[in-house]
Every structure is written in C-alpha cells, then in structure tokens.
Amino acid sequence: SVKAAFDAINAGTHQGAIDVAILSDTTEVASAVLNASGAPSSYTSILIHPSGGIARTVSGAITAGSPLVSLNGATNVTINGLNSGGNSLTISNTTVSTTAGTSTIRLINGAQNNTITNCTVLGSSTSSTTAAGGDILISTSTGGANSANIISNNNIGPAGANLPTKCVMSLGSASPNNNTGNIIDNNNIFDFFQAAVTTAAGVSVSTNTGSITISNNRIYQTAPRVFTAAATYSGIFVSASTAIPTITGNTIGFGAANGAGTTTISGSSNQVKGINAPSTSTIIATSIQGNTVSGITQTSSATGSGSTSPFIGISVGATAGSFNISGNTIGSLDGSSGIVVNTTSTTANTIGFEGIFDFSFQNLDVINNNSIGTITINNGGTGTTAGFRGILLSGTPGQNVTVNNNTIGGTAANSITDNVVGSYAMYGIQTGSANMTATANLVRNITGNSNVAATVVGSGILSTASTGVNSISQNTIYSLSNNSGAASNSIYALYCSFATGPANIVERNFVHSLSITSTDLTSQLVGILPIAGSGTYKNNM
C-alpha cells in the first residue's frame, strides 16, 4: 500500500532520491502520511507514479476529518499519474463527510515544492464554505508555509455519485505559516455541488492564503444542478484579506473540458458568480485576466442588484483591494456560446445579469479590454424587473477608475436581449460616484422590452454622482433598441451627470442607430445627455 511505502520512508528504510512505483490497485485503510525529511527519514526527493502499463487506483474510505494521502511537511515530492504508455493514476477518498479536514490529498505543516500532476483526484468532502476540505486541500501549518506547490494537469472531481462542495481549497495558518506561492494550473475541475450548501466552488481560496496562481483551468458541471436553499455557485471563490491571487486563462462553464455542453444551475434563489472575489489583499492589486465565463444556463428567483444579482460573471470587492480586470470574455462576441438567465423575481430594481461588478471602492481600478455578448435574459415565471448591466462599478467619491476598450454586445443583432416585459433598465457600463476615464469602448446590439416608464441606457457610459474629473472619449455606441408597447421609455446613449466645477470632457464619441417601438409619444432618444454639472462636449458625432 501507499501507506506502507510512506511508513518505510518515515522510518528511514529508504534514503536519498526515492522512486515509488505503484504496481497494482491499493485500498488504504488509514491515511498514508509522508513526513518531512529528517531523522529517522532522510530523502532528497520522492517520485510516486503508476507502473506496468495499465491504470492504477489508490482508494479508501478514510476516517472523516482525515486525508487519504497527507504530505505532512514533505518537500520535493512528485505524484505523477504520467498518462503515457497505458499508465494512469486515480487517487480517490470515498468518505462522504462534512467534517473539517476530509480530503483526498492534503498538504500540511510546511509542505513545500511538491507537485501533483497528471492524476485523477476524486473526493466527496461536503464541508461548509469556511471549513477545511476538498479533493486537494492546502491546509494549516505549525512550522513553515505550505508553499511553492504545483497542482497541474489533473482531473479533479467527485468520488462516484457523491459530489464535493470544493475541489481545491487553500485554508492556512497565520503568517509566517500561511499558504503562499502555490499554483493551480491546467486542471479539469468538475461536478462540485451540494444542494443546500451556501457556497459551492471549484477553487476556494480562504483564510491565511497569500499569493496564489489559478490559471488555465476548466471548471464545469457535467449534469444539471438544483439548489434546495438560497446559495451561491462560484467557479473560483476568493475570500481572504491576505490573498494575492493571479487568476488567468480559466474557462468557467460548459459541460465538458472541451467546451461542449452547458453548466445548468437552478433551484431556489441561487446566485451564479463565475469568479467571485469579495475579499483580497488591500496592499497588492489582484489580477483577473484572460478568463472566459460562458456556456451557462441559470434559473433563479434571486432578487437584488450589485453583489446580490442572480448572475455575475466577475464579482469583486466589499473588503477587497484594487483590481486589474482585463481581457476577460463573458459569453461570446461571435455567438459561439452564451449565457441564459431565466429570472423569476418580482422584486423592484432587480438586475438579472451583470457581466462585471466592481464593489472594491479602491482607487485606480482598471477594467479594460473585456468582452460581453450573447446574453439572454428570460422571464422564467412571473419576473417583471430583471435588467442588465455589462459593467457595473459601485464607486465612492474621489475614487478614480479606468474603463477602456471594452466591448459590450456581440457582432449579431440583439446580441444582448432582455425578453422580460416589465420595469427595468439596461446599461452597458454604469459607474456611480467614482471619477472615470472611459476611452474606446464599444457598446452595441442591445435590445430590451421594458414597458414601464424607465430609462434604457445602452451606453458604455452612465456616469452619476462623480465629484471629480471624468474623461469620456472615442467610444462607439449603436443599435440600442427597446420595445415599450404603450409606455413611455427613453434611450440615452451617453448619460453624463457630473459635478459643477471639474473640467470634465466628453469628446470624439460616435452614437448612431437608436430605436424605440412605442405608442407613447413622450418617449425619448438622446445621443448624449449632459444631465447635470459642467463639462466640455466637443467633436462628437
């Protein structure tokens, strides 16, 4: 067994560079624990791999609260499933438990420079949002950080029909023993879910985690998931005031690693958040770049706006630092994939869909080069108020943000469509209170059916309550439309509510092709509306 091999290494029976070949399937009856090198053990590195040219499985129903495999202060250990020459390796803990610590592979007590790669890692930990658990758990330490570990090229999912709440989790100890410098890269992370658990997450970054890289992973569900209680489903969840995450190149949604199928979430007042980062370091900026959130269908009775909206592609802030949110795709511009939100809310001021929501209140946030398109909001029952925000920044006076080169709306007509007939607004980009530089954004092909006296602003820019200087230039806004029936309705492509005094500038913007279908002749179409304050408006078309 793997336990017997680890026990021999811990006893000093084997030394130096050690090769552990798995020659048959094993069933572990207790945790296989590998300790740090040091008397009596003495090793420089360890390679664990399958051998014999066929698939190997290491499994066990381990006592709740324990891992199947524990790297306890171990360093320079590689677990390599190889996936070549017929060799492959599955590591599976079949224990279903809410007890903290239940996991398949655990890194603990200063585990450093270890690699878990090319494996299938399965588990069924059903621990709560804040409790340690998951298929792979980067855990606590009594001496030294769990650092520089690499989790790459694995399939990480459920042990049989029993789904985990988290596939990969980092929850460490206070500095200097926190988890730092770990990498989660190029894994297939799938089928994590519990119907009544508050937050299910593919990757969960929790307390006492420092720098961490989450990159190029594919995070998805292979079957529909139905919540039985109010809950949040997150592809990636970051909630640690110490966390310095780099989140790049991940794909969240679809029903398979190859981009086929759909992640389908329904039941109760659920929320879906592709990347959810309510708490991060306030010292070093968080980077969220080059990710894709698409291939998702949601049905929800959730109500609210901002952080409580039913669907948010990327949600940041509350107790977080500043962010660089750049180059991400929510849905698609070419129609190759998309997002459907079926809303059953009847509460006023609900926003059914938000592509990017920034609630950090931090100076110098950057939201650049993102794409949002192929979005459909449907009336999934009696909903009447489900609106749309492409980018929503809930700011504070004195905050300065940059929103440049974003595209809201795909190439096809009606790329963003709200089929709900009721009272709501649709804004391409909305900022409140913060001072904004908005340059070269493209907002297009947005269609609504708001039928109560409301404002449908399809602009890249709806600016309100700013007390400082705003610069809105070289934006292009076109093909915004609304069918309001017999109600008065308005489309304002650029809505500028500034303070009196600052040298605001609105220049070289291009607005065309706005339309309203209405029998109420008080409806309005306005290209640029200087609603309040002072500014220079020049060279616009």
pLDDT in tens, 111-123: 999 999 999 999 9
Cα 276 → chain centroid: 5
Give pLDDT, residue 454. 66
Dump pLDDT digits (tens) for 19-65: 999 999 999 999 999 999 999 999 999 999 999 999 999 999 999 99
C-alpha 398/C-alpha 401 separation (Å) is 10
Dump pLDDT digits (tens) for 413-446: 999 999 998 888 999 999 888 899 999 999 999 9
The number of helix segments (H) and strand segments (E) in the chain equals: 1, 53
Amino acid at 471: S
How confident is the model over 489-508, as a mean pLDDT? 92
pLDDT exceeds 70 at position 150: yes
Give the N- to C-terminal CA distance of the chain in Å, as an integer. 74
pLDDT exceeds 70 at position 460: no
Q: Record the pTM.
A: 0.96
Reported as type and span, the H/E element at residue 402 is strand 400-404
β-sheet bridge partners, residue 340: 297, 376
Amino acid at 356: I
The answer to which of 73-82, 211-220, 319-328 has the lowest mean pLDDT is 319-328
Fill in the DSSP letter of residue 179: B
What does pLDDT average to over the chain? 94
Beta-strand relationship, 77-80 and 42-50: parallel
How confident is the model over 464-478, as a mean pLDDT? 92
Give pLDDT, residue 383. 72
Name the pLDDT band for 459 (thresholds 50, 70, 90): low
- 223 vs 365, higher pLDDT: 223
φ/ψ of 334, rounded to 5, equals -95, 0
Closest by CA position to 108, among listed 193, 208, 203, 21:
208
Give pLDDT, residue 453. 73
Beta-strand relationship, 120-125 and 88-97: parallel
Q: Are 427 and 388 in contact (CB under 8 A)?
A: yes
How confident is the model over 459-487, as a mean pLDDT? 87
Name the pLDDT band for 384 (thresholds 50, 70, 90): confident
Tell me if residue 483 falls in helix, strand or coil. strand
Give pLDDT, residue 364. 78
Q: Are 54 and 86 in contact (CB under 8 A)?
A: yes
β-sheet bridge partners, residue 246: 213, 287
How confident is the model over 254-279, as a mean pLDDT? 96
pLDDT exceeds 90 at position 272: yes
pLDDT exceeds 70 at position 86: yes
